[in-house]
Amino acid sequence: MKAVIYTRYGEPDVLRLADVPTPVPGDREVLIRVRAAEATKSDCEFRSFRYSVKWFWLPLRIAVGVSRPRRRILGGYFAGEVVSVGARVTRFAPGDQVYGSAGLRLGGYGEYVALSERAAIAPKPRNMTFDEAAAVPLGGLNALHFMRRAAIRPGEQVLILGAGGSIGAHAVQLANSMGAQVTAVDHGIKESLVRRLGAGDFIDYTTDDVTTAGRRFDVIFDMVPASPYRRLIGMLNPGGRYLNGNPRLSVLVRSVLTTRFTDKTVTVAFAPETTEALATLTELIEADKIRSIVDRVYPMSEAADAHRRVETEQRLGAVVITIGEP
């Protein structure tokens, strides 16, 4: 099969199209013909091995390959079609259109991927193309996890930092669907996008500092590395919740103290990705409560350009790679 592979860490040019063996599904695995994969910030970070949050650099490097990547095919999030199933698979059948997460196994940049039937895979929303569906699982699963943990009540004031990114854009829609008043913070070029997704207020972080605006919030969801922790906690109303999906080591330590000794709650976590959460996203999408925003679609042969587009941060929505023949 064709796959976009990389055999060393580096700039986008390390990505190239190659012929590789097609995976063979085990007894409890499904073989999926991938039709589209999101080119995510996480894929770019795996490729370059440059992380703005440093504390997990060493454990992650040991896990993914010290001198070169152990898994040559990137792509954590995809949409496609089941083509065959292992003898003991009960949840899927050939012909099922699905979308989901390959987790740390990755592989979505290849024409076929073999995954456990217990992986976070679910039927693709009926009202989405493969390209649109591939743009959902990363942002949707992470945002749903944090918005549920935030236990948002209708009418609450919610601040989202990094609101125009893959995760933030889904968080804006989910918070809005839960009845929150959403204030979004991101680069000014994303203002009209996040307002269309449901943000009532917008702050451009390149020109204004949200922490000096004198505003108070019930929930702050922060996907930005190196945010000013103390000032953000100070902006919470009594009983407020701060959720950080991209925490530095110091935030991990301080989160315990804040939760223990104040009336505020801090949640720092890596979101688990579950089939149940994905099925919930499918329902929300089919009920038109959330939608996917695709910035550009690239063919496999231009995967390096897709990564450049993600890294230059000019995108409005998700960057998607079409896998296989269009």
Residue 186 near ligand NAP by CB under 6 A: yes
In a 10 Å sphere around its CB, with 0-12 CB exposed, 13-18 middle and 19+ buried, how is residue 90 labelled?
exposed
What whole-number distance in Å separates Cα of residue 56 and Cα of residue 22? 32
What whole-number distance in Å separates Cα of residue 132 and Cα of residue 266? 33
Among positions 262-281, residues that touch ligand NAP (CB under 6 A) are: 270-271
The structure tokens 């605006």 sit at: 213
Contacts of 90 (CB under 8 A, 6+ apart): 117
DSSP calls for 184-248: EEE-GGGHHHHHHTT-SEEEETTT--GGGS---EEEEEE--TT--HHHHHHTEEEEEEEEESS--
Tokens of 35: 């039709």
CB 54 within 8 A of CB 114: no
In a 10 Å sphere around its CB, with 0-12 CB exposed, 13-18 middle and 19+ buried, how is residue 145 labelled?
buried
Residue 49 near ligand NAP by CB under 6 A: no
User: For ligand NAP, which is the closer residue by CB, 25 or 162?
Assistant: 162
For 50, 63, 72, 165, 227, the CA distances from 314, given in Å and listed in that order, are 19, 31, 27, 11, 21
The 93-132 contact track toward ligand NAP, x by CB under 6 A, reads ----------------------------------------
Residue 292 near ligand NAP by CB under 6 A: no
By CB under 6 A, name the one of 31, 32, 40, 176 that touches ligand NAP.
40
Residue type, 62: I
By CB under 6 A, name the one of 168, 198, 240, 317 that touches ligand NAP.
168
User: For ligand NAP, which is the closer residue by CB, 89 or 219?
Assistant: 219
In the complex, minimum distance from the CB of residue 60 to ligand NAP, in angstroms, rounded to a whole number: 11
User: For ligand NAP, which is the closer residue by CB, 283 or 313?
Assistant: 313
Residue 245 near ligand NAP by CB under 6 A: yes
By CB under 6 A, name the one of 11, 13, 27, 313 that touches ligand NAP.
313
What whole-number distance in Å separates Cα of residue 25 and Cα of residue 23? 6
The 195-234 contact track toward ligand NAP, x by CB under 6 A, reads ----------x-----------------xx----------
User: For ligand NAP, which is the closer residue by CB, 90 or 206?
Assistant: 206
**If you ran DSSP here, which 8-state letter would residue 70 be given?**
S
Residue type, 81: E
In the complex, minimum distance from the CB of residue 227 to ligand NAP, in angstroms, rounded to a whole number: 7
User: For ligand NAP, which is the closer residue by CB, 100 or 165?
Assistant: 165
By CB under 6 A, name the one of 75, 110, 164, 240 that touches ligand NAP.
164
Residue 75 near ligand NAP by CB under 6 A: no
Single out the segment in contact with ligand NAP by CB under 6 A; choices: 67-75, 104-112, 159-167, 298-306.
Answer: 159-167
Residue 42 near ligand NAP by CB under 6 A: yes
Residue nearest to ligand NAP (CB): 165
User: For ligand NAP, which is the closer residue by CB, 180 or 223?
Assistant: 223
- Output the CA angle 277-282-283, nearest 5 degrees: 95
Q: Which residues bind ligand NAP (CB under 6 A)?
A: 40-42, 45, 142, 161-162, 164-168, 185-187, 205, 223-224, 245-246, 270-271, 313
